[in-house]
Amino acid sequence: MKVLIVIPTYNEAENVKKLVPLISEHIKGVEHDVMALFVDDSSPDGTADILDGLKREYPFIDVLVRKEKDGLGAAYIAGFNKAMNDLNADIIMEMDADLQHDPKEIPNFIKAVEEGADYVIGSRYVKGGSIPEEWAFYRKVLSWGGSLFARITLGALDVKDFTTGYRASRVKGGLDQIDLGDIMSAGFAYKIDLLYRFIKIGAKIKEIPIQFALRDGGKSKMEQNNMLESLRVVILLKLRDSINFIKFGIVGFAGFVTDTALFNFLRISLLSSEYASAFSGFLAMILTFLLNNAWSFSERKIETPGARLKVFVPYAISSYIPIIFRSWLVAYSLERFGDTTLIANAAFFVGMLIGLVWNFTVYSKIIWRKKVI
């Protein structure tokens, strides 16, 4: 496998002189082809020139120079794109250049991906992880509290460190499933959005402990608006999910109207209640599949007819589970409480509500899970 370590730099001339030899030392025992891709935003202190000079002694490094400094996230995404599109990386790591991320952990990240993880997080808040004791109290609170806010708001309590920047991702089936051009933040908060997208595609996420160190030298790039930017991204991610659910609810209502009208028409004129429920549910299922694909899950839209037909089979199977349950519930209720329109529609409605919860869970987690979000 080919491993690319993406390392953004801006005025890190002194730090890269120390960092490159450390990376070289800790990748010696790694069996894979490991490269370090430095993404420099035209540093005035000549960081890129120093890196070019180091390439003669350390040929595993490469340098991508960008014309402008437009954010940490933008630099990482530029590195991701080069690593995937030009350098054919199988694993991409995220690492800062200020020596706060210890290069000795590189083999542990690679090993975690080898063992099946799609996204590996170097966590400060799991057993064995730590933050600097020298940090001021307010910074400790902001770091831990910001991560906790993201975890609670986005419903991802299993992930203990949402804002760590030391990470590794599997490319195939992982990072290549993410629309990097749609990341909300070009700055610090990109890492919140990116992690959440991995969670949304059902990626296997593993946290490994890291000891987060103090900056070794140079000026910190932490900005005062990082907290506000992170807050904005978390809220927008939550709202986007809510909008998707609202769309799903509207489509569900259209399916409900279609289903109910057909159910009662068929029940009165042609079929028994059990068969009417099954047939109306099938037609409503086709309608909702087309609407969900085109609108509710438009960011994960299945484009080609062949792909839609292939996905429709598991969609139909999963959708028919609540339909069968609903048909049974209608039949049982009519037998138990009497064959009346009120009983039939009450049982039908209860079965439909249970099916709504089932369907949204299956559709969002499985049917459209692997599409770009």
Q: What domains are there in the chain, each with its CATH number?
A: 2-223 (3.90.550.10), 243-367 (no CATH)
Chain centroid to Cα 339, Å, comes to 49
Candidates 39, 35, 53, 37; CA nearest to 10 is 39
| Per-residue pLDDT, 370 | 43
Distance between CA atoms of 359 and 321, rounded to whole angstroms?
Answer: 9
| Per-residue pLDDT, 105 | 96
| Per-residue pLDDT, 205 | 96
Positions of the chain with pLDDT lower than 50, given as ranges: 370-373
| Per-residue pLDDT, 369 | 65
Contacts of 10 (CB under 8 A, 6+ apart): 40, 41, 43, 47, 69, 221
Are the beta carbons of 174 and 91 closer than 8 angstroms? no
| Per-residue pLDDT, 327 | 87
Distance between CA atoms of 233 and 281, rounded to whole angstroms?
Answer: 39
Query: Whose structure tokens read 């054919």?
Result: 88
Measured CA to CA in angstroms, residue 117 lies from 36, 157, 268, 360 at distances of 21, 18, 55, 26
| Per-residue pLDDT, 222 | 54
| Per-residue pLDDT, 130 | 94
Biggest alpha carbon–alpha carbon distance for the chain:
86
Q: Could you tell me how many residues make up the chain?
A: 373
| Per-residue pLDDT, 373 | 39
| Per-residue pLDDT, 195 | 96
Dihedral (C-alpha) 96, 98, 102, 105: value to the nearest 10 degrees?
20
Distance between CA atoms of 352 and 77, rounded to whole angstroms?
Answer: 43
Q: Nearest 5 degrees, angle CA 86-CA 112-CA 187?
A: 55
